[in-house]
Amino acid sequence: MRRCRCDKFDSAAAGSNFEFLNSKMPYFRSKFYLIIVLLIIVFLFFILYGIGVLRPVVSFARTVFSPVQRGFVKTGNGVAGFFNFLGSIGEMDEKNTKLQQEVNNLRSENAKLKEMQHENEILRDEIGFQYEHNLDTVPAAIIGYNPDPGVRKIEINVGRDRGIENDMPVIISSGLLVGRVTEVFETTSNVLFIVDKRSVVNAVVQDSRATGIVKGEHGIGLIMESVPQNEDINKGNTIVTSGLGGIYPEGLVIGEVYELKKSSNALFKEARIKPAVDFDTLELVFVVVGTK
């Protein structure tokens, strides 16, 4: 009985497999026919193309589709170019930063060279003046201005360490008179401008040799007093130190007459003097420490 059931089961399984194969046969046959047809088409295509029948068709297809192909190529090139452009922006920005830094460095070096040239010109003028007047000077930089407008003083960076003493004259290049030393410390000194109201300088008119005394006026100008009435003094005359008094050597330029003033004393004349020095733009001065 058991064997009979197995035989029946095997028969049933075989029958079901046969039915499955019968159901799939049309699918396999259609696939087989399709492959045969494709192979025949490919074979015919190569034969026809080889004998030249399909060449006009291929040429026509190339003509029709070449704009599309070029469009894709251009699009691809455009996209690639866009990303290359983005990359080049970063490179350009970096190069511009480096170039700007180089420009700033060159500007800084150029400014330093101009300052050195300016100082050298001042020193050359001073050396020439020293040689002509046999003066021995010490250069000094201005390191401070007195904030009080009624007191016209500066602080310079030389003192006892450079042989500076009180009442030594202070000039700029070409012998223009600035003032005199009033206080001396170890490494610095204070200088009183000639326009300060406490300043007094023995002076002379360069052309007529008329003598007088130049005093500071309100910290901004100069006035020449005690000029004898019989002496000539006119607008435009240059006023220089006379060498009298023992402080200022002879021939230092004080300024130029720009106005004649009536004196309350009938025996003397007075004149207002425009200083030869611009006291607000001083950078480098020279202390006269002696004669050669």
What is the reported pTM? 0.59
Averaged over 47-62, what is the pLDDT? 61
Q: What distances in angstroms separate CA 95 from CA 27, 86, 88, 91, 216, one per listed residue?
A: 69, 15, 10, 6, 59
Kindly tell me if the per-residue pLDDT of 65 is higher than 70.
no
Contact yes or no for 214/197 (Cβ under 8 A): no
Can you list the alpha helix ranges (DSSP code H) found in the chain? 2-50, 55-133
Residue 133's pLDDT band (cuts 50, 70, 90): low
Q: What distances in angstroms separate CA 216 from CA 4, 223, 258, one per listed residue?
A: 148, 7, 15
Q: Which residue has the higher pLDDT, 285 or 291?
A: 285
Contact yes or no for 176/193 (Cβ under 8 A): no
Q: What CATH number labels 134-291?
A: 2.40.10.350
What's the pLDDT score for residue 218?
A: 83
Q: Which residue has the higher pLDDT, 88 or 197?
A: 197
Q: Whose structure tokens read 């030389």?
A: 158
Cα distance between residue 227 and residue 271, in whole Å: 9
Of all helices (H) and strands (E), which one includes residue 193?
strand 189-193
Burial class (CB in 10 A: 0-12, 13-18, 19+), 256: middle
Contact yes or no for 211/204 (Cβ under 8 A): yes
Cα distance between residue 254 and residue 200, in whole Å: 12
Kindly tell me if the per-residue pLDDT of 1 is higher than 50.
no
Q: Two tokens at 226?
A: 């005690």
What's the pLDDT score for residue 83?
A: 58
DSSP 98: H
Cα distance between residue 205 and residue 197, in whole Å: 21
pLDDT, tens only, 230-253: 999 999 999 999 999 989 999 999
Q: What distances in angstroms separate CA 141 from CA 51, 107, 172, 199, 206, one per listed residue?
A: 102, 24, 11, 22, 30
What's the pLDDT score for residue 233?
A: 94
Of all helices (H) and strands (E), which one includes residue 228?
strand 221-228
